[in-house]
Amino acid sequence: MDASRRIEADDLEDIAIGGAVLGTGGGGDPYIGKLMAQRAIRRRGAVTLINVEQVPDDALVVPVCMMGAPTVMTEKLPQGEEIVVAFSKLERLLGRRIDAVLCCEAGGLNSTTPFIVAAETGRPLIDGDGMGRAYPELQMVTFTLHGVAATPMVLADDKGNSVVLETIDNKWTERLARSCTIDMGGSALLAFYPMSGGVAKRAVVRGTLGLAAALGRTLRESRAAHADPVAAVAGKLAAQHVFDGRVADVERRTVGGFARGAALFDGLEAARGHRFRIAFQNEFLVIERDGAALATTPDLIILLDRDTGAPVTTESLKFGLRVACIVAPGPAQWRTPAGLDLIGPRYFGYDIDYHPFAPA
C-alpha cells in the first residue's frame, strides 16, 4: 500500500470482510461496522489512511474500538456516535489534540469502527492495529508489551452515559471496563491507550488494514473467477488448510461479557472419519482433532464458508454449516515469551504449550 491512501465508502466492503477473516471468529459483525463507517464517510468525506512511519514521534495517537460479546452486538446495534463521543471526551481529558486514530483489533466490526472516528473528526487513520487479529480482553494488545497504559480511558454507551477510568494496570482496566460494559447493556464504545507516535512505531502491528483490504479483494476476485475462495484466502495469509467439516454441535453462552463455548465438526473430504473441536472466547482459541490439540492461539484459527469463502464468526456458527478451517501464523510479537504470557493457551486455562502450527 502507498504511504497514504484515501479510503472511500466503497472501500469498506473489502476491509470489513478481510477484517472478519483476520478476526478469527470475533471482533463483531462486519456488516454492522461497515454500514456505520460508510455512513460516516458519505457524510464527512474520505478517510486518509497513513503508515505509522508518517506519524511524528511527538504526535498523540489514540486507538478506538467496541467492547462486548459479539452475540450481544448483533441484537444491540450501536448508533455510531458513541465512539466519537468517547474519542472527543478523551481528547478533552488529555488536554491536547489527538493527531491520529488507531485500530485496536482486526475484527470484523472493530476493523471498521476507527473509520467512523477518522471521518467524523478529520484525523488520519494509521494502517495497523494492536493485535494483528482479534482477542477478547483489553490488555491483550501489543501496546501492553511496550509498556503503554490503557488509561485514561473513556467508555460511552448508546444511552448517553460515559465513564472515565484510571487504573493501576491494564489487567485492572479490562476488569473494570468489562463490568461497565455489562452494566451498559453488554456493549460499549471505547477510546484508550493514548501513546506517542514514537511508541506507536514500536508497538503497532503494521499494515493490518491494508491486509484486510487485500483479503477482501482476493475473496471477491476469486468468486468472480469461479476459483476456490478458501485456497485464495489461505494463499494470501500463508495459511495451512487444516480440515473441511460440517458443524455437528455448538455450545455457546454469554458469560461475563464474553461469548464462550465450543463447536464440534464432523470431518469431510480428506478429514472424513475425524471429529474436530474448536473452543472460543469471542475468538477461536484452540483446535482439537479426535481429542488432541492441533493448533492454538496466537496462531490465527480461521473458519470460512466452504462454498463461498465468507468468514464465519462465533455468533454465526450453526448446525449443518459446511466450513473450511485454515490456520495462519500469528504476528511475531505474540510468539515471544512475554506475548505468550499475555495471550497464549495457558492464559485461557488450557493445559497446552504453544507450538507453531505444522500440518500433521
Residues 166 and 112 sit within 8 Å (Cβ to Cβ) = no
User: Residue 137 has what pLDDT?
Assistant: 93
β-strand partners of 245: 267, 323
CA distance 41 to 32: 15
Q: Which fold has domain 227-343?
A: CV3147-like (2.40.390)
Superfamily of domain covering 4-208: CV3147-like domain (3.40.1610.10)
User: Using CA atoms, how far apart are residues 32 and 266, in angstroms rounded to an integer?
Assistant: 31
Q: What is the structure's pLDDT at 107?
A: 83
Q: Which of 69, 57, 63 is nearest to 114 (CA)?
A: 63
Question: What's residue 41's pLDDT?
Answer: 97
pLDDT of residue 30: 82
Q: What is the DSSP secondary-structure string of 252-282?
A: EEEETTEEEEEEEEEEEGGGTT-EEEEEEES
Q: Tens of pLDDT along the chain (360 residues)?
A: 447 899 999 999 999 999 999 999 987 778 888 999 999 999 999 999 999 999 999 999 999 999 986 555 555 556 668 999 999 999 999 999 999 999 999 987 899 999 999 999 999 999 999 999 999 999 999 999 999 999 999 999 999 999 999 999 999 999 999 999 999 988 899 999 999 999 999 999 999 999 999 999 999 999 999 999 999 999 999 999 999 999 999 998 877 667 789 999 999 999 999 999 999 988 999 999 999 999 999 999 999 999 999 999 988 899 999 999 999 999 999 999 999 999 999 999 999 999 998 765
Asked if 191 contacts 64 with a C-beta cutoff of 8 angstroms, the reply is yes
Amino acid at 50: I
pLDDT for the residue 282: 85
**pLDDT at residue 79 in the model:** 63
* Angstrom distance (rounded) from CA 151 to CA 122: 24
Q: Are 30 and 109 in contact (CB under 8 A)?
A: yes
Query: What are the structural domain ranges in the chain?
Result: 4-208, 227-343
Rg of the chain on CA atoms, in Å: 19
